[in-house]
A and B are shown apart, each in its own frame.
Chain A
Amino acid sequence: MTHAAFLVIAALAVASALGLVLRRNAIHGALFLVVNLGSVAALYLTLGAEFLAAVQVIVYAGAIMVLFVFAIMVLIPGKEETGLDPRRGWRLLALPVGALLALQLLLVVRAGVGPVAPAAAVPGGVEAVARLLFTRYLLPFELTSVLLLAAMVGVLLLARRRV
């Protein structure tokens, strides 16, 4: 059952990632990205990482994609990108970089051989996260709010029109 679920979700993730890369229309690409983020969230769920899945949907597929779409609408108003890409040659770089990533993936997979722990044994639920977050990781937790505060002040400083 989980195996079949994995295959379906993984196929969806790969297909949507391909769609994102291959579509020339930026908005279509963004929508493919939403599907991709959602299917990765589903993969997290099958691994028992509920909290991570929820964060993925709410923060990435929700908030960050909204910003993506706004940014696309502000920057590229046209239907399709027109004109030539002045840096076509740079695309060739994708090959060595991709090969490097594949090699790394291979190494990582080989380093982590052996049966993967059954999903239920990994405490990824909200409560498990909360237990660690509010005790062991107290300092990072409070630090995050300071980081968000600095981000708010910075956004205001850069985005305010007048002055």
Chain B
Amino acid sequence: MTFAFAALVAGALLGIPKLIAPRRLTPVKAEPFECGMDPIAVAEGRFAIKFSTVAIFFILIDIELMFVWPWAVLYRELGWFGFAEMLVFLGILMLGFLYIWRKGGLEWE
């Protein structure tokens, strides 16, 4: 009983301010504290944007792969017709690949 009462009082003391106390967060309060100095910059460096370019090309080729797989499963049944279909599909994509390559999209520096 005593224990429950104590828990109730403690809970109320913690809980009521949480509900009714004004909390005005300002940007200054939310800043990390650096010995009273304004933080100059974030500690970690930034990633180069070229990683994302490569990642986008990866997605595009990845999606292409998802079409080749079912084609390979049904390769024999589809015969020459399917071969021609895939040739057109890959031909169009290879044009894009050639374009990226020749335009220097794959060069790192």
Among A67, A129, A155, A159, point to the contact of B70 (Cβ < 8 A).
A129
Given A71-B52, A84-B25, the answer on whether A78 and B69 have CB atoms closer than 8 Å is no
Min CB distance, B86 to chain A, in Å? 8
A83 to B43, CA, bound (A): 16
Q: Are A133 and B32 in contact (CB under 8 A)?
A: no
- Report how far A127 CA is from B78 CA in the complex, Å: 11
- Asked if B95 and A74 make an inter-chain contact with CB atoms under 8 angstroms apart, the answer reads no
Interface majority SS (helix, strand, loop, mixed), chain A:
helix
Looking at the complex, which of B2-10, B13-21, B97-105 is the stretch in contact with chain A? B97-105
From 64 to 94 in chain B, residues with beta carbon under 8 angstroms from any chain A beta carbon are: 64-67, 69-71, 73-74, 78, 82, 85, 88-90, 92-93
Q: Is the CB of A83 within 8 A of B31?
A: yes
A71 → chain B closest CB, angstroms = 6
User: Chain B nearest CB: distance from A58 CB in Å?
Assistant: 6
Contacts of B31 in A (CB 8 A): 82-83
A65-78 CB mask vs B (1 if < 8 Å, else 0) is 01100110110011
What number of A residues sit within 8 Å (CB to CB) of B? 43
Quick check: is B59 within 8 A (CB to CB) of the other chain? yes
**B interface: dominant SS:** helix
Q: How many A-B residue pairs have CB under 8 A?
A: 139
In contact, B46 and A77 (Cβ under 8 angstroms): yes
Q: Which of A23-74 contact B (CB under 8 A)?
A: 51, 54-55, 58-59, 62-64, 66-67, 70-71, 73-74
Whether the Cβ atoms of A58 and B71 lie closer than 8 Å is no
**When chains A and B are docked, how far (Å) is the Cα of A54 from the Cα of B97?**
25
**B56 part of interface (Cβ distance < 8 Å):** yes
A-B pairs, 8 with minimum CB distance? A130-B70, A152-B96, A130-B74, A73-B47, A145-B92, A149-B96, A63-B62, A63-B59
A contact set with B: CB distance below 8 Å = 51, 54-55, 58-59, 62-64, 66-67, 70-71, 73-74, 77-79, 82-84, 126-127, 129-131, 133-134, 138, 141-142, 144-146, 148-149, 151-153, 155-156, 159-161
Given A126-B73, A130-B71, A149-B93, 16 further pairs, Cβ under 8 A: A58-B66, A63-B63, A66-B55, A67-B55, A73-B46, A73-B47, A74-B52, A84-B30, A129-B70, A130-B74, A133-B71, A134-B74, A145-B64, A152-B60, A156-B105, A159-B52
Q: Which residues of B contact A (CB under 8 A)?
A: 25-27, 30-32, 42-53, 55-60, 62-67, 69-71, 73-74, 78, 82, 85, 88-90, 92-93, 95-97, 99-100, 103-105
